Amino acid sequence: MATSGPLFHAGWNRHWTGLQVVSDTNRTNRPQPRQKAFGELPWNAAAITRPLLAWYRRAGRDLPWRRSRDPYRIWISEVMLQQTQVERVRDYFQRFLARFPTVDDLAAAPEPDVLRAWEGLGYYRRARQLHAAAGQLVSRHGGIFPHTADELRQLPGIGRYTAAAIASIAFNQPEPIIEANSRRVLARLAGYDQPLARPRDEEPLWQLAAAVLPQRSAGRFNQALMDFGAIICTAAQPQCSACPLAGVCVAKQQQRVTEIPHLPAPRTIRRLRETAFILRQRGRLLVERRQPGEWWEGLWDFPRKLPTGIKIAGPRHQVGEVSYTVTHHQVSCRVTLSEVSARPRATRHQRWVR
């Protein structure tokens, strides 16, 4: 909730007590709790919202999902943008919408068609949850998106951030957002240097985001906050000299911009080697369906271990090697081709295909 006069004050003791919006006239001489994180911020909401919205009008990104307030388009884009960079999402978004232009089209499609349209974006669980949520939107809501974040969070794959993004951008509901860009902007503005290792560590920033959120332009403000973090207040080499908020930025005043936010160290990349076995018998190839708990669950792939009962005829040929990265793993995969003299009956997780 935005206010025009108050200063922001975070009361801290041994446990965080929450962000409080207080006005000068309400101050007393009573001892205040020890101020561990925000302290008293030298700005009010208008000092943030007005320059930020003005900057957004001039310099906001032109993204295809922003050209309407259609909740379906906003939802698809937000799910695609999870774990995927904006530039990569642009083309996929357009193709996906051409294939499934409405939530009814998405709900009616077979899951394999949805997964095929998702190929290349990775993290296929997102596509499955998208498909499941579309089914619920049609069966329970008549294809109409709920307007509130609480209702949206009841749908598969929609968490706190995604629900708030849809509610604020599509329906201008006063819902704050915290994601990588807005988290960085708000943490620097407030000089918030506490560790942000777990989702619950971000709660003070959610409260700060709510405190500065303008009621009448919540969606535009949230988009402005994200764009500002992507363009100006970047993780590396932030453009403080071009920042319209530099005068009220606590991290800038303390010369600690590169230290804030306090994020955990990147996870170590593990290097793995594996072999994909292309097994051919009379023109048919054996594929296996990935099982629960495996990468790419539910998708079909060449076996990574020789199945029981397979008899190889002749030499095994190496046909290439591919490398890919998935969930903090760098995988080198050797691809081999072998002729099979006898084709055992496929299990329910296997198929011989042409």
Is 78 one of the annotated active-site residues of the chain? Answer: yes
> CA 314, CA 339: separation in Å to the nearest integer?
7
CB contact set of 39 (below 8 Å; sequence gap of 6+): 9, 10, 191
Q: Which of 40, 78, 321, 339 is catalytic?
A: 78
Please give the positions annotated as active site. 78
